[in-house]
Amino acid sequence: MSGDAEKSPSQPESRLRADSLLVGVAAILFVTVFQRGIGFARNLLLCRYLDDTELGRWSLALSALMFLAPLVVLGLPGTFGRYVEAFRREGQLRRFIWQTAAICLAVGMTAALALWLFRGHASYLLFNDATYGDLVAVVAGALLVVAAANFVSELLMALCLGRLLSVLQLASSFTFAAVALGGVAWFDGGAEAVVWGYASGSAVVALVGGYVLARYGRTMFEEAVQRRPRRIWRAIVPFAWWMWVTNLVANLYESIDRLMLVHWAPSSGTPDALVGQYHAALVVPAMLVAVAGMLAGVLLPYLSADWEEGDGERLAERMNQTVRWGAVGLTAAGIAVLAGSGWLFDGLLRGKYDQGLAILPWTLAYAAWFGLMLLVQNYLWCAEKAGRIAAALVAGLVVNVAVNAWSIPRWGVQGAVLATSLSVVTCLVISFWLATRAGMRWDRASTWIWGLPASLLGGPLAASAVLLAALWCLYRRGALAEAIEMAGRCRSLVAARLGLDSPQRPL
């Protein structure tokens, strides 16, 4: 028998292939936009059919899941984007994945059990009412599923399997929408039905993604040793610690306005209803933040590879391009939303969210700034300066709490959005400065274009005029031609991918 016998056609492919940078970004962004379209429609229907009180409870339950899911896994999945490539080159990637999975499972199960046992106390902390223990019990069960989905998602992203992850997340969105809307429309469910839907969507990512990783894991993690191995935990514990602290601060930062609104709102309004109004104003801005966060996550492994190869010039070029066109894109999206906001709130949402409509320009502006902050902080992740990211978020959190404590009792939901806007700007400016201190070289356009989303506060016409002026300035310095060239290259690579002849590297 020949030792070089060809593989049988019936034998399954044993290797998955990673995407190149532009193809990976384009594929993920394309599917993400479609996926967020599903999520946008789902959220609109939830806002339409739930009253603002039930919508507020769902928003608070979602905040709890977003806060706890990264927290209970000790920041370990967050290290994948930085260390998967490094441990692959050292020949110990498989051991790294199995050890982190075992720890995440043990800690996650312990946290979910504790949340269920003390659900009365958790209900008061979350809803300012100890009678929602049943809802907290559902959140405890969903916590395990969401944490598992996050683990699988981070690993697929770090392996540059962006197209596979995008398909899974698309299926997750369909499942979430079907279960949640079915529970609300057909069974008169409230916040609990929506939490069940969210857990069902996360289960799709965890189960199918886990199956793919288990089936192909034996060959997927193989790589010739290119350098001397390090001790895994000595390498990742400092990074994971700062990732955990950063997740703690970041998720507290994202949820503190709702929690303070529940506990500090003026006595003239229902706290859950005010949170529901706030949630309605965040339906579209949250989609913009999610797209920016997805882009930042896709870019991190590629930027990390540039860092590992010592290609600082290429890294700086990619960072500047991302910030420039991220600001332009997020501002343009905000203008489009403002132009259609009257039809959206008065028509589709039946005029139930007048307070949400009033604060929409503010939520769009701070969502754009938050997305830019995520993109800027990629440089600090590459430089292993996670502590500086935590410092920026702590500064923003302090501003958020201080301004909320003063503004919420006076102005309610308007005070909450003012405090959050000021805190996000604080984080963004500090992140720019810290990246510069770490060696990042920003070009002139990147140092001023971050202020572009502020134009949204003046309405769609004023913001459009400011955006056109900014594009003219970019055109004068040649950046617009650069963007057109990048779009052409991206289009060519996507076409090549569809023809199955794009350059790929095996995992």
The pLDDT, as a whole number, for residue 229 is: 54
Residue 367 CA to residue 389 CA, distance in Å, equals 18
Q: Rounded to whole angstroms, what are the CA distances from 407 to 257, 365, 415? A: 11, 19, 4
* Torsional sign, CA 78, 283, 376, 431: negative
Q: What is the mean pLDDT of residues 405-432?
A: 93
Q: Enumerate residues 6+ apart whose C-beta is below 8 A from 433.
A: none
Residue 467 CA to residue 338 CA, distance in Å, equals 14
Whether residue 487 is predicted with pLDDT greater than 60 in this model: the reply is: no
Local confidence band at 224 (pLDDT 50, 70, 90 cut-offs): low
Residue 229 CA to residue 220 CA, distance in Å, equals 19
Nearest residue to 291 (alpha-carbon basis) of 19, 33, 42: 33
Whether residue 2 is predicted with pLDDT greater than 60 in this model: the reply is: no
Exposure of 382 in the CB half-sphere (CA atoms within 13 A):
30
Whether residue 85 is predicted with pLDDT greater than 80 in this model: the reply is: no
In angstroms, how far is CA 314 from the centroid of its own chain? 25
Least confident of 29-33, 71-75, 117-121: 29-33
Whether residue 223 is predicted with pLDDT greater than 60 in this model: the reply is: no
The pLDDT, as a whole number, for residue 13 is: 45
pLDDT tens-place string over residues 362-399: 999 999 999 999 999 999 988 888 778 888 989 999 99
Local confidence band at 4 (pLDDT 50, 70, 90 cut-offs): very low
Residue 260 CA to residue 406 CA, distance in Å, equals 11
Radius of gyration of the chain (CA): 23
pLDDT tens-place string over residues 114-135: 999 999 999 998 988 888 899 9
pLDDT tens-place string over residues 225-261: 555 555 667 777 887 887 787 778 878 888 899 999 9
Nearest residue to 112 (alpha-carbon basis) of 74, 151, 77, 143: 143
Cβ 29 vs Cβ 246: under 8 Å:
no
Map residue 270 onto helix, strand or coil: coil
Query: Residue 42: phi, psi to the nearest 5?
Result: -60, -45
Q: Rounded to whole angstroms, what are the CA distances from 32 to 5, 65, 500? A: 42, 21, 22
Q: Rounded to whole angstroms, what are the CA distances from 170 to 146, 173, 286? A: 16, 5, 17
Exposure of 242 in the CB half-sphere (CA atoms within 13 A):
19
Residue 372 CA to residue 386 CA, distance in Å, equals 17
Q: Which helix H or strand E contains 502, and what residues bound it?
A: none
Of these ranges, 86-90, 94-98, 160-164, 396-400, the one predicted with the greatest mean pLDDT is 396-400
Give me 318's structure tokens: 């990619």
Q: Which helix H or strand E contains 106, and what residues bound it?
A: helix 93-117
Residue 380 CA to residue 449 CA, distance in Å, equals 20
Q: What is the mean pLDDT of residues 489-500?
A: 43
**Eight-state DSSP code of residue 18:** E
pLDDT tens-place string over residues 182-200: 998 887 778 999 999 999 9
Residue 275 CA to residue 272 CA, distance in Å, equals 5
Q: State what percent of residues in the chain have pLDDT above 90.
A: 36
